[in-house]
Amino acid sequence: MNRRVVSVAETPFQTYDLEGPVQPEMSWLPVSYSRESGRGSYLMRMQPGAVTIEHDHPGYEEFLVIEGELIDSDGTVFKAGEFVSFAPHTRHWSRTETGCVLAVFEWRP
């Protein structure tokens, strides 16, 4: 059987740098994400007050809000338990006032 189990509580998150420069107020835990292909899944943790850099994904960007709230650039608030799907080439940025944890899935049809 080929599987990977990641203990979120025991595995250290890495400094987040997927949109270019290091963003110390954010961290991530790659599970199946590949920088080369831009596809896969990862967990993302944002500290209160964190803001992502405006970005555009070539494929789908989907995430499940596990903890906290995330506010998108158009003012929409995503809460814990909500699953969000952005179509390819959507340009946006996000921020959090409360801090949040997301399970992120990036893929292309």
Q: Is the pLDDT of residue 1 over 90?
A: no
DSSP secondary-structure letter at 87?
P
> Residue written as tokens 């970005």?
55
Look up the pTM and report it. 0.92
CATH topology of domain 14-107: Jelly Rolls (2.60.120)
Cα torsion angle, 9, 10, 15, 16, sign: negative
Domain boundaries, the chain: 14-107
Q: Is the pLDDT of residue 57 over 90?
A: no
Give tens-digit pLDDT for 64-73: 999 999 999 9
Average pLDDT value over all residues in the chain = 95
CA dihedral 61, 65, 71, 77 (to 10 degrees): 110
Q: Is the pLDDT of residue 100 over 90?
A: yes
